[in-house]
Amino acid sequence: MSDGRDVHATTAPPETLDSRGMREPGRVWELALEPDFDSLDDDLKRYIEVCRERLGLIPNVISANALDSERLRTFADSYNRLMLGEGSLSKAEREMIAVAVSSINRCFYCLVAHGAALREITGDPILAEAIAFNYRAADLSPRHRALLDFTAKLTADPAGMDESDRAALRTAGCDDRTILEVAEVAAFFNMSNRIAAATGMLPNPEYHALAR
């Protein structure tokens, strides 16, 4: 799936080790701005180290937000609440929403990164790939189809949202708290997609082969 950019921009340089022995993610984006890990607050340095330990890499979106502590903390708090916190949506459903939004927006970074996450969480690369290309072609439960129909309209036609869209989710068994969660996750990734597109953000190369 091409995002219209030159082929050379889809591959980041090999990772290297910094002075502390941490793996650095290579080129993060097309901006002439570098993450400043050393300037971050201590808890955020630990957050990055935990990411590296658990994932085997530092996601480029985290490196991009590591220009200063306030920026990274804002991103991490929002992401962790919406994608990892307690709620009505399962982790797989949250990743489905992220991938569906990113597919509509043709966001290279988020399709690669969250496509990998969805493959890993579901153990079903066919389902994950179908949602990445066109969720309407995927074999979805009535609940999941309703979630992604709502997500797609909110992404492509937000001014067209009305009570019928909320009613469709209620018919699929979603309460109003779930509707709010779907809206929040979809809105977060619409924002993230636009920042990634504006900055030419590059996915970590490891994501491409993950869970296939």
Percent of all residues in the chain with a pLDDT value above 90, rounded to a whole number: 85
Is residue 11's pLDDT more than 90? Answer: no
Closest by CA to 87, choosing from 190, 187, 176, 189, is 176
pLDDT band at 23 (very low <50, low <70, confident <90, very high): very low
Q: At what angle do helices 69-79 and 42-55 cross, to 10 degrees?
A: 50
Give mean pLDDT, residues 181-188: 98
- Structure-token pair, residue 76: 């991490």
Percent of all residues in the chain with a pLDDT value above 70, rounded to a whole number: 88
Query: For residues 172-196, b (16+ Cβ closer than 10 Å) or e, as one string?
Result: bebeeebbebbbbbbbbbbebbebb
Q: What span, in angstroms and rounded, lies between the C-alpha atoms of 163 and 106? A: 28
Give mean pLDDT, residues 112-127: 97
Q: What span, in angstroms and rounded, lies between the C-alpha atoms of 13 and 53? A: 21
Alpha helices in the chain (DSSP H): 42-55, 60-65, 69-79, 91-105, 108-122, 125-134, 142-156, 163-171, 176-199
Is residue 108's pLDDT more than 90? Answer: yes
Q: For position 212, what pLDDT does the model report?
A: 85
- pLDDT tens, residue by residue, 30-59: 999 999 999 999 999 999 999 999 999 999
Q: For position 206, what pLDDT does the model report?
A: 94
pTM over 0.75: yes
- pLDDT tens, residue by residue, 135-162: 999 999 999 999 999 999 999 999 999 9
* Residues 173, 89 contacting (CB under 8 angstroms): no
64 vs 27, 30, 45, 55, 167, CA distance in Å? 10, 11, 14, 17, 38
